């Protein structure tokens, strides 16, 4: 999990272990930890540890200076910029969201700032490692302690009474998507888990759980997950400028906020016009031809080419360098694999128009590749085209009925469209396919996502729709 407790927090750790031992039926804390350190702990055991060791205490509009800075200095300009560009979208990530108050606070803030919000494509991704916290966040029901210090009018407007507690209204709940994510282990940014091209990222009161080395790696990954000029909101107790380099420390209304500086401009994307051929062929025409007889195998050790080098840069988060390398390859126009990687790179940089163009060009090279239809679906979903995303996902599944991530993505689209029965069916399909694979197996198109990790994600998501 990457968790690290400094000596001054050992008391917190001992109390958490003692509570875990009592509730799980161990004789004492020592026996409990011997069990978890025995080396026989599976993914479920890791999730259990996370449930006890990462319990976060949070509330709505926590650290008001941060939200004041967003409401008064950052969001108004960003909103007007997107209006002027005729691209009414915003992407926000609450990393380590705990029980959801932070993510819902951002949804409420945007609702108050954007009168025509129904016409915007708003993404608020909220992730956490603690399944218990995620379940509470998805439920969206809170006690009085979560509302301390906020304007009572906010609670009256955005919540409805439920006994002695308060439930977030459906319109605000639908603005937030919750998912399992481990900042210390999972790969990001990635279009596959929607952690790319973020305008604003919250990462508050979580870096304290990591060693300095792990915290630096997390901050580096978060920086790559931001668009140029994007904002990282940190906790006041974690605001070490050294830790957040090379982000710029921006002093706004006493808030602890950092900004990603401009990267070198991307190399212009110029390729010959697409050939005059339909890219969206009917499903019935997507027929796989019989395989020819393979030629005799010849063992040749090839030197690393532009694609291999670009892939290595992509895996290190050096997107601009990878893009420049691929665009300098004279064979790019006919290389479907290189075009697919270029599409991923542009998506990570927030250039979804270029990402879609590259993906379509890759499909023009070979439209029988499920990976490319799936990637196009992810891009279409990000640009606010759920119908187009669903079409591409169905094409991916026509070519590969066992494409697990396509089943999961279709379920997510069904949830957003209010089709819970369809979502349950898609989640069941995904879980059935996952159940016959090894937990440590890495999924195709998953950017390092394992079967075990996706299984937990799907279980949490399916619980939301009553599966």
pLDDT digits (tens, 9 = 90+) for 123-155: 999 999 888 888 899 999 999 999 998 999 999
Q: Is 187 exposed, middle or buried (0-12, 13-18, 19+ CB in 10 A)?
A: middle
CB 271 within 8 A of CB 331: no
Euclidean distance between CA atoms 95 and 169, whole angstroms:
22
User: Going edge to edge, which strands form the sheet with 159-162?
Assistant: 141-142, 165-168, 159-162
Q: What is the mean pLDDT of the chain?
A: 85
pLDDT digits (tens, 9 = 90+) for 148-181: 989 999 999 999 999 999 999 999 999 999 988 8
Buried b (16+ CB within 10 A) or exposed e, 65-78: ebbebbbeebbeeb
Least confident of 16-20, 69-73, 272-276: 272-276
pLDDT band at 208 (very low <50, low <70, confident <90, very high): confident
Beta strand spans in 235-356 (E) = 248-252, 255-259
CB 254 within 8 A of CB 260: no
pLDDT of residue 48: 61
pLDDT of residue 297: 56
Using the predicted structure, report yes or no on whether residue 27 has a pLDDT greater than 50: yes
pLDDT digits (tens, 9 = 90+) for 372-414: 999 999 999 988 899 999 999 999 999 999 999 999 999 999 9
pLDDT digits (tens, 9 = 90+) for 211-269: 889 999 999 999 999 999 999 999 988 867 688 988 999 888 889 999 998 765 555 55
pLDDT band at 43 (very low <50, low <70, confident <90, very high): low
pLDDT band at 54 (very low <50, low <70, confident <90, very high): low
For the entire predicted model, the pTM comes to 0.76
- In the chain the domains, ranked by start, together with CATH numbers, are 7-53 (no CATH), 64-259 (3.40.50.150), 307-464 (1.25.40.10)
């Amino acid at each position: 999990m990457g968790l690290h407790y400094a000596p001054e927090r050992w008391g917190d750790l001992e109390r958490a272990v003692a509570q875990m031992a009592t509730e799980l039926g161990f004789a004492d804390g020592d026996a409990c930890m011997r069990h978890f350190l025995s080396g026989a702990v599976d993914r479920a055991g890791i999730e259990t540890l996370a449930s006890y060791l990462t319990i976060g205490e949070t509330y709505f509009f926590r650290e008001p200076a941060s939200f004041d800075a967003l409401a008064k200095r950052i969001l108004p300009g960003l909103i007007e910029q997107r209006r002027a560009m005729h691209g009414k979208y915003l992407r926000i990530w609450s990393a380590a969201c705990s029980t959801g108050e932070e993510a819902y606070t951002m949804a409420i803030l945007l609702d108050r700032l954007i009168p025509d919000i129904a016409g915007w494509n708003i993404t608020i991704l909220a992730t956490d490692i603690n399944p218990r916290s995620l379940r509470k966040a998805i439920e969206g029901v809170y006690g009085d302690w979560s509302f301390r210090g906020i304007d009572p009018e906010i609670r009256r407007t955005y919540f409805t009474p439920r006994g002695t507690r308060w439930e977030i209204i459906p319109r605000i709940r639908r603005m937030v998507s919750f998912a399992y994510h481990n900042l210390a282990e999972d790969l990001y940014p990635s279009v596959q888990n929607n952690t790319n091209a973020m305008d604003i990222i919250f990462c508050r009161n979580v870096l304290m759980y990591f060693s300095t080395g792990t915290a630096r790696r997390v901050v580096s990954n978060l920086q790559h997950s931001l668009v140029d000029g994007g904002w990282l909101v940190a906790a006041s107790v974690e605001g070490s400028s050294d830790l957040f380099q090379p982000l710029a420390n921006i002093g706004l209304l006493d808030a602890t906020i950092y900004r990603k500086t401009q990267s070198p401009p991307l190399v212009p994307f110029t390729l010959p016009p697409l050939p005059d051929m339909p890219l969206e062929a009917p499903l019935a025409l997507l027929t796989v031809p019989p395989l020819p007889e393979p030629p005799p195998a010849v063992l040749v050790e090839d030197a690393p080419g532009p694609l291999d080098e670009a892939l290595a840069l992509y895996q290190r988060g050096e997107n601009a360098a990878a893009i420049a390398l691929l665009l300098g390859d004279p064979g790019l126009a006919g290389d479907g694999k290189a075009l697919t990687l270029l599409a991923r790179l542009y998506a990570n940089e927030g250039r979804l128009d270029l990402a879609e163009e590259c993906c379509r060009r890759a499909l023009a090279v070979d439209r029988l590749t499920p990976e490319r239809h799936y990637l196009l679906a992810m891009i279409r979903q990000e640009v606010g085209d759920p119908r187009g995303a669903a079409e591409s996902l169905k094409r991916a599944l026509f070519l590969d009925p066992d494409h697990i991530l396509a089943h999961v993505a279709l379920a997510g689209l069904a949830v957003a469209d209010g089709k819970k029965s369809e979502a349950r069916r898609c989640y069941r399909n995904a879980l059935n396919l996952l159940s016959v694979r090894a937990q440590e197996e890495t999924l195709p198109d998953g950017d390092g996502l394992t079967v075990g990790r996706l299984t937990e994600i799907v279980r949490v998501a399916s619980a939301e729709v009553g599966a």
